[in-house]
Amino acid sequence: MPTLDPESLLRAAFAAAIEAASAARCVPPALPPPPAGRTVVIGAGKAAAAMARAVESHWTGEFSGTVVVPHGHAVTCERIEVIESAHPVPADAGRRAAERLFERVHGLGADDLVLCLVSGGGSALLPLPVEGLSLEDKQALTRALLRSGATIGEINTVRRHLSRIKGGRLGVACHPARLVTLAISDVPGDDPADIASGPTAPDPTTCADALAVLARYRIAIPAAARSALERGAWESVKPGDPRLAIAEYRIVAAPQASLEAAARVAAGQGVRPVILSDRLEGEAREVGRQMAAQVQSVLARGEPCDPPCLLLSGGETTVTVRGSGCGGRNVEFLLGFGTALGPCAGVHALAADTDGVDGMAAVAGALWRPDTLARVAARGLDPQQFLDANDAHGFFGALGDSVVTGPTLTNVNDFRAVLVLGAEG
C-alpha cells in the first residue's frame, strides 16, 4: 500500500462529504411528476440557488419561481429568480424576499404544484417579523441568540414564534396547491421543523417553549412581543393542521450520508472509518475535549478500534462568545481538542463547516497537525489565550492552517475527522 498522506486523506474525506450533499446529485431523483396546472418554485438557504438550477436542468414543462440565498451563494438560473440577502444576521432584502415568496404562492389552485427548496441558512434569509416586532428588533435578537450558546433547536423555537413565514406559515399559504418540500438538512436529527425553521413544516413547539428559551439565556425582547408570546397570540402551525394534510417533505441530503461518503474514502485508503454520531451537540470546546479523550482511548486500549482509524462526526455544536473573537464552532472544537490532547505524533484532524463558512466569511475550518503545538510555541503564542478569547480563527490563521473552500452551495453542518495513526505516527 502506498504511503498514507494524512492531510490529503482528511481533505479528500471532507470533499466527499460535501459532494454527497451537492444539489446536482441529490435533487433530481427526488423531483415529483409535473402537475396538471402550474409549477411554482420557492426556497431559501445556502443551497437554494444550486437546488433551483438542478430543478431547471431536469424539469419538464413550464415553471417560475423565486429563491433567496446569502451573498456569495447565488448561481445563474434562467427561469427562477435568485435574491441575495445577509446571513446570519437578517437584512431588509431578506424581508422583501419573504414577501415575494408569499406573492408567488398566492391564488394557486388544487391542480398546481409548489416545489419548496430549503437548506441551512433559510431562517436568517426569511426575516418576516410578527406585528409589533421590527426588523431591527429581529436583528438584535439574532445577535443575542448566536452569542448565547443556545442550541440550534432552541434558537429556531424562538424564531418560529416571532415570524410570519416560519413554523409552517408559508406551507399554509400554499394551500390548496400540492406542496412538496425538498430539504438539505443541516440540523441534528433532521427535524423538518428546524431546517430553515420549518417554513413549510408543522411545529410541535409552543409560545411557552419560546419564552422558556429566552428566559434560559436571559435574552430580552420588546415588552409587546413578550406579552404576545405570553398570550399565545403568535402560535405556529401545529401537526395535524388540515391545510398541510397533503404536503410532502423529502430530505434529499443529510449529515449521515455525508459522513458515510467520507468513510468510504478512508476505507479505500486502508484506514478503518468509525462514524461516532451525526448529531453531536454541546459547547464546541467541550466536545473537542471529549474527542481528545476518545483518541486517548484508541491509543491506550484500541477502543473503539485499533489505529489506523478515522473518527468521523457531524452535528452542530455551539459557542458561547465571551471573548473578543468571533467564535466559529469547528475551529473552537479543534482548538479545544488539540489543547486537551497535547503533543501526539500520530494524530491529525480536520474540522470544518460543510457550507464553507465557520462563523467567519471565507474560512470553513482548520487542520490540527502533530506539530501544531510545537509551531505555536516557537512563535511565543499561548493556545489557551486564543481559546479564552473565542479566537480560534486567529490561532489557526496565524499558523496558516485554516481550511478555505469558498461557498460550497450546500450545508449539512459540522464535519469533524480525526485520523489516529498511532502514538508514533
> Can you say whether residue 45 is alpha, beta or left, with left for phi > 0 and alpha for psi between -120 and 50 degrees?
left
Question: Is the residue at 264 inside a domain?
Answer: yes
Domain C-terminal end among 235, 253, 271: 253
Query: How many Å apart are CA 188 and CA 172, to the nearest integer?
Result: 25
Tell me: the pLDDT tens digits for 137-191? 999 999 999 888 899 999 999 999 999 999 999 999 999 999 999 999 999 999 9
- Say if residue 264 is in the same domain as residue 409: yes
Average pLDDT of the segment spanning 401-425: 90
Percent over 90 (pLDDT), the chain: 91
The grid coordinates of residue 155 equal: 434558537
On whether the CB atoms of residues 366 and 352 are closer than 8 A, the answer is yes
- Say if residue 287 is in the same domain as residue 412: yes
- Say if residue 11 is in the same domain as residue 85: no
Question: Is the residue at 397 inside a domain?
Answer: yes
Per-residue pLDDT at 48 exceeds 50: yes
- Say if residue 211 is in the same domain as residue 303: no
CATH at 396 = 3.40.1480.10
- Say if residue 238 is in the same domain as residue 134: yes
Rg of the chain (C-alpha set): 22
Question: Is the residue at 114 inside a domain?
Answer: yes
Domain around 387: 6-17+256-420
Whole-number pLDDT of residue 146: 86
Domain C-terminal end among 253, 275, 309: 253
On whether the CB atoms of residues 113 and 38 are closer than 8 A, the answer is yes
Domain C-terminal end among 233, 253, 273: 253
Q: For residue 193, which amino acid is it?
A: A
CATH at 235 = 3.40.50.10180
On whether the CB atoms of residues 215 and 139 are closer than 8 A, the answer is no
Whole-number pLDDT of residue 118: 98
Question: Is the residue at 210 inside a domain?
Answer: yes
- Say if residue 388 is in the same domain as residue 411: yes
The grid coordinates of residue 189 equal: 436529527
Query: How many Å apart are CA 133 and CA 186, to the nearest integer?
Result: 27
Question: Is the residue at 1 inside a domain?
Answer: no
Per-residue pLDDT at 2 exceeds 60: no
- Say if residue 73 is in the same domain as residue 190: yes
Whole-number pLDDT of residue 132: 83
pLDDT, mean over the chain:
95
- Say if residue 357 is in the same domain as residue 275: yes
On whether the CB atoms of residues 185 and 253 are closer than 8 A, the answer is yes
- Say if residue 46 is in the same domain as residue 157: yes
Question: Is the residue at 180 inside a domain?
Answer: yes
Average pLDDT of the segment spanning 200-207: 97
Per-residue pLDDT at 268 exceeds 70: yes
Tell me: the pLDDT tens digits for 346-392? 999 999 999 999 987 689 999 999 999 999 999 999 999 999 999 99
Whole-number pLDDT of residue 1: 42
- Say if residue 231 is in the same domain as residue 118: yes
- Say if residue 131 is in the same domain as residue 226: yes
Question: Is the residue at 425 inside a domain?
Answer: no
State the total domains in the chain: 2
Per-residue pLDDT at 418 exceeds 80: yes
CA neighbor of 176 nearest in space, from 83, 247, 273, 79: 247
What's this model's pTM, rounded to 2 decimal places? 0.93
End-to-end C-alpha distance for the chain, whole angstroms: 16
- Say if residue 45 is in the same domain as residue 188: yes
